[in-house]
Chains A and B, each alone.
Chain A
Amino acid sequence: MSGVIKYFADILHGIKTLWGGMRITGKYFLSPKEIVTQQYPEIRHKQKIVYDRFKGEVIMPHDENNQHNCTGCGVCEMYCPNGSIEIITKKIPGENGKMIKVIDKHIYHLSMCTFCGLCIKVCPTQALAWGQNFEHAVYDRSKLTKVLNKPGSSYKGLNKKKEAKS
């Protein structure tokens, strides 16, 4: 007899637990406010979708005079675990005819970057920063190789040095 009772108790218990699960899904079915989906391409125009610290890409901030902080010392290149940074320097004539080493091209291979942040952390002059752009899709892989210093830009400290000297 106890077997029969257990048999029906099992069935009732099963139905009860199943109904418990159905209550959860039913509750969410009836509460469309709980929807968490963000409709991506549209939402870009409505609100900010990434945080300020988001690691989108490595950028080199330039000020209004098209000047940056990079001295071309090459520490970031040395620290980069993947070789995604290449620094090409050139020599220009500076004060009193001496040649000074300045940055020519700060090449950044986005395709190789793992976003570890070491280059930004170790930069002695805070020349690099995180950019929040994350839409990196391009049709050609070569477009992922970027030159971070803008054409015609120069090192900010160079003027200061000159000013200090004069």
Chain B
Amino acid sequence: MDTKLKNYIVKENGDIILNMGPQHPSTHGVLRLEVVLKGETVKQVVPHIGYIHRGIEKMCEYDTYKQIIHLTDRMDYLSAHMNNEAVCLLVENALGIEVPERVKYIRVVLDELTRIASHQLWWSAYGMDLGALTAFFYGMRDRERILDIFEESFGSRLLHSFNTPGGLMHDVHPNFQKHTMEFVKYFRKKLPEYHQLLTDNVIFRNRTQGIGVMSKETAIAYGVTGPSGRGSGYSCDVRKIAPYGVYDQLEFEEIIYDEGDSFARYMVRMKEIEQSLNIIEQAVDKITDGPYTAKVKPIIKLPEGEYYQRVETARGELGVYVVSDGKKFPYRMHFRSPNFNNLFVLNTIAKGHLIADLVAISGSLDLVIPDIDR
């Protein structure tokens, strides 16, 4: 190996370099971690990314604002709806479009359903990372119910490009409210099983408690947001600190744990599922009749200037930064993706742990690689 290319690695005699990924069961996608090991102890983690870089930011410069929506789906595919909403909110705020009340509540319900689905998938995958393979199937089984609700209303299960600047692409299915409430009822029954199977398990606790401790200062310095940040005792829920949509009219708690270890990050997500169920219960009743979209011109042109919109996805704060030159295409579009920042804290918090802990830590950060690569 060319030593010049590798000067970022600090290697002593007797250390081994282990490449985890890009095809590795626990990196959840095409992330490659170059790990320097002393025995089984991790000395340094160097993430290598870019295996699925698609140049979404460049593509956005050649797409109209309505066309951009479907690209944002493909960044963090597990919080596709929140990504859509970020762009839509940005355009709506820039143009001063007043979105109908019905749309706002539908969006909140969808946000929270997406969040639950994302956390369920994460729970499943985290169980699998730690070797509890059955957890994977239980999580997937319950997630299927949400995906069915999505499929019934929008026709697709994961990337439903359902938002459009000004409202929704089309109205939700008449059964949407009923099925959502059925799901909430069903899932409230199943959630205790999740805790019994994994949360309370002594092996699971030993594998996560005290592992990968991220102090509040580290979290802020590295820009870690979302459940991973809140597990470090630092309030960073955009829904609370810069409310968008109708989040300021709904009652929910921001879950904060002070421990900063993998278990705290785990618990934040599990408690967030409960909060999301509460939000859905409140919001579903408030979906009033009305139009599903505001009147928007067929070709959207943002006034010249810079815009920034923050939303809370399932993984943290997504920022959309748009520079408009008054044309129908954005001049520059940048996404501040939560996973990008969450990934690079890995080296700091995984140092000194065992290689099995590295899996537990990177799992607890809940990384989605397409969001990092964009």
* Interface size, B (range): 20 to 34
Majority SS at the chain B contact face? helix
Question: What residues of A have a CB within 8 angstroms of the CB of B67 in the complex?
Answer: 79, 81, 116, 118
Nearest-CB distance from A62 to chain B (Å)?
Answer: 21
Q: Across the interface, name the chain A residue whose C-beta is closest to B198.
A: A21
Q: How far is the CA of A36 from the CA of B186 in the complex (A)?
A: 15
B163-181: CB near A (< 8 Å → 1, else 0) gives 0100001100100000000
How distant is the Cα of A116 from the Cα of B355 in the complex, in angstroms? Answer: 41
Chain A interface: which size bin? 20 to 34
Complex-state Cα separation, A118 to B303, whole angstroms: 23
Q: In residues 142-176 of chain B, which contact A (Cβ within 8 Å)?
A: 144, 148, 151-156, 159, 161, 164, 169-170, 173
For the A-B complex, the count of residue pairs with Cβ-Cβ distances under 8 Å equals: 73
B residues within 8 A CB of A81?
63, 67, 70-71
Inter-chain contact A18/B156, CB cutoff 8 Å: no
Which residues in B have their C-beta under 8 angstroms from that of A79? 66-67
**Contact across chains for A55 and B169 when beta carbons are under 8 A apart:** no
> A54 — which chain B residues lie within 8 A by C-beta?
151, 155-156
CB of A63, distance to nearest CB on chain B (Å): 23
Q: Is A13 positioned at the interface, with any CB of B under 8 Å from its CB?
A: yes
B156 touches A21 (CB 8 A): no
Taking the complex as formed, is A114 at the interface, i.e. its CB lies under 8 A from any CB of chain B?
yes
**A18 with B161: in contact, given A51-B155, A130-B155 (CB under 8 Å)?**
no
Q: Which of A44-68 contact B (CB under 8 A)?
A: 50-51, 53-55
**Residues of A that sit less than 8 Å from B by CB:** 13-14, 17-18, 20-21, 23-25, 36, 50-51, 53-55, 79, 81, 114-118, 121-122, 130
**Chain B interfacial positions (CB closer than 8 Å to A):** 63, 66-67, 69-71, 74, 134, 141, 144, 148, 151-156, 159, 161, 164, 169-170, 173, 193, 196-198, 200-203, 205, 298
The 7 closest A-B pairs by CB, nearest first: A116-B70, A55-B155, A81-B67, A14-B202, A53-B155, A116-B161, A51-B152
